[in-house]
C-alpha cells in the first residue's frame, strides 16, 4: 500500500504543491498517470538524498505496482529526452539508471517499496536472482521487473560486492537485463530519480491547460501536421535519443516530413514561450523503412 508519513502530508498541503528547495524546477519533468503525478528530477543524488527530497516535496520515490504503471513511468522517463548514457554506473554494467523506491537496505534480501525511507513498506521480493544466489522469489502476487524478466530468468537483484541495496530503472542494457528493467545498485551512486505524488498536482493541471498541441494524423506515415505556437519542438525515440528534428519558433501550424524514419513509437516534446512543456506519443507506420 502506498502512503505518506505525516511530515509528507504537511508539506503537501501547507506548501500548496509548491516546488521544494531540494531541486530546481527547470530540472523536473512532470507527467500524470492513473490519478497520480510523477516527476523525473534531473539532478544527481544518492538514493537516501533522493528519498529525503521526495518527502520534503510531498511525495516519495516511485512505487511501481503493475505493468501498466511500469510502462507509464518508463515512457515518462524516455519522453523527458534524457540520454540513455547520461551517467554510467560502474556496478550496474556501465549503464545509466534512474532511482525508484525499492530497497533492501534495512534487511538484506528483504525488498520493500520504501520511497520515503522510513524502513516500512510493501515487501514485494525476497532473496537474490540467478546472477546471485538464485534463491529469490516474488512475495505473493506483487509485481516485479528485475533484470532478466523479459527472458523468463530473473537475474537481479544479486547484491554485487555485497553492496547493492537500492534499485533503479535501467535506461540501456547490462549483462543481466534490458532497458526498462530494474537492477540493484549501491545506494551511494548519484542518479536522477522519480518522485510520485498520491494525487494529480494542481500546478501540472495549470500547465496542461496553458499548453496544448494538436499533432495529426497519428499514427502517421509521411507528413506530421502540428498546430500551435511553440518556442521549440523536438522528436525523441524510445531510447530517449533526440531524432534530427528540432525546430525553433513554431507559429500556428507546420508540417514535418517523417517519411525517412523507421516505424515505431516516438515522443514529440513541445515547449511554449512561457517554458511550459508537453509531450505527445507519436506512432510512425512507414512501410517503406525497414
Residue 254 within any structural domain of the chain? yes
Are residues 22 and 93 part of one domain?
A: yes
Are residues 180 and 229 part of one domain?
A: no
Residue 1 within any structural domain of the chain? no
**Quick check: 180 pLDDT over 50?**
yes
Are residues 22 and 138 part of one domain?
A: yes
Residue 156 within any structural domain of the chain? yes
Q: What is the CATH number of the domain that holds 265?
A: 2.60.40.1930
Number of domain units in the chain: 2
Are residues 248 and 141 part of one domain?
A: no
Instruction: Please give the residue range of the domain that contains residue 59.
Output: 6-197
Mean pLDDT, the chain, integer: 84
Are residues 106 and 141 part of one domain?
A: yes
Per the DSSP assignment, residues forming a β-bridge with 103 are: 112, 166
Residue 67 within any structural domain of the chain? yes
166-170 and 28-33 beta bridge pairing: unpaired
Of 245, 246, 249, give the one whose Cα is nearest residue 272.
249
Q: What is the CATH number of the domain that holds 131?
A: 3.10.100.10
Using the 3D structure, point to which of 172, 197, 222 is the last residue of a domain: 197
Are residues 245 and 167 part of one domain?
A: no
Q: Which residue has the cell 547520461?
A: 86
Q: What are phi and psi of 207, to 5 degrees?
A: -65, -40
**Quick check: 92 pLDDT over 50?**
yes
Quote the Cα angle for 238-187-179, to 5°: 15
Are residues 155 and 37 part of one domain?
A: yes
At residue 192, the pLDDT reads 98
Are residues 269 and 135 part of one domain?
A: no
Are residues 100 and 50 part of one domain?
A: yes
Of 188, 215, 183, 224, give the one whose Cα is nearest residue 279.
215
Are residues 215 and 187 part of one domain?
A: no
Of 105, 106, 101, 104, give the one whose Cα is nearest residue 116.
101
Residue 289 within any structural domain of the chain? no
Give 232 or 290, the one with higher predicted confidence.
Answer: 232
Give 127 or 224, the one with higher predicted confidence.
Answer: 127
Are residues 140 and 55 part of one domain?
A: yes
At residue 248, the pLDDT reads 61
d(CA 138, CA 124): 6
Residue 48 within any structural domain of the chain? yes
Are residues 185 and 44 part of one domain?
A: yes
Q: What is the DSSP string of 231-260?
A: EEEEEEETTSPEEEEEEEEE-SEEEEE-TT
At residue 205, the pLDDT reads 43
At residue 252, the pLDDT reads 64
Residue 290 within any structural domain of the chain? no
Residue 143 within any structural domain of the chain? yes
Amino acid at each position: 500500500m502506498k502512503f505518506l508519513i505525516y511530515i509528507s502530508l504537511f508539506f503537501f498541503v501547507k506548501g500548496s504543491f509548491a516546488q521544494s528547495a531540494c531541486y530546481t524546477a527547470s530540472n523536473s519533468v512532470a507527467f500524470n498517470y492513473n490519478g497520480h503525478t510523477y516527476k523525473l528530477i534531473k539532478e544527481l543524488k544518492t538514493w537516501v538524498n533522493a528519498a529525503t527530497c521526495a518527502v520534503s516535496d510531498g511525495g516519495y520515490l516511485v512505487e511501481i505496482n503493475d505493468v501498466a504503471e511500469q510502462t507509464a513511468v518508463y515512457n515518462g522517463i524516455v519522453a523527458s529526452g534524457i540520454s540513455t548514457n547520461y551517467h554510467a554506473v560502474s556496478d550496474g554494467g556501465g549503464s545509466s539508471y534512474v532511482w525508484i523506491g525499492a530497497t533492501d537496505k534495512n534487511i538484506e534480501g528483504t525488498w520493500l517499496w520504501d520511497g520515503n525511507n522510513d524502513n516500512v513498506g510493501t515487501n514485494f521480493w525476497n532473496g537474490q536472482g540467478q546472477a546471485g544466489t538464485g534463491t529469490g522469489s516474488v512475495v505473493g502476487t506483487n509485481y516485479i521487473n528485475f533484470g532478466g524478466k523479459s527472458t523468463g530468468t530473473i537475474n537481479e537483484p544479486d547484491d554485487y560486492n555485497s553492496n547493492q541495496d537500492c534499485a533503479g530503472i535501467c535506461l540501456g542494457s547490462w549483462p543481466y537485463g534490458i532497458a526498462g528493467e530494474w537492477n540493484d545498485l549501491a545506494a551511494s551512486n548519484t542518479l536522477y530519480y522519480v518522485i510520485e505524488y498520491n494525487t494529480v498536482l494542481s500546478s501540472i493541471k495549470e500547465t496542461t491547460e496553458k499548453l496544448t498541441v494538436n499533432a495529426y494524423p497519428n499514427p502517421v506515415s509521411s507528413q506530421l501536421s502540428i498546430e500551435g505556437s511553440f518556442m521549440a519542438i523536438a522528436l525523441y525515440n524510445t531510447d530517449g535519443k533526440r531524432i534530427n528534428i528540432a525546430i525553433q519558433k513554431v507559429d500556428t501550424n507546420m508540417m514535418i516530413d517523417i517519411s525517412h524514419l523507421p516505424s515505431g513509437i516516438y515522443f514529440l516534446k513541445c515547449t511554449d514561450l512561457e517554458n511550459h512543456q508537453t509531450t505527445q506519443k507519436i506512432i510512425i507506420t512507414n512501410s517503406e523503412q525497414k
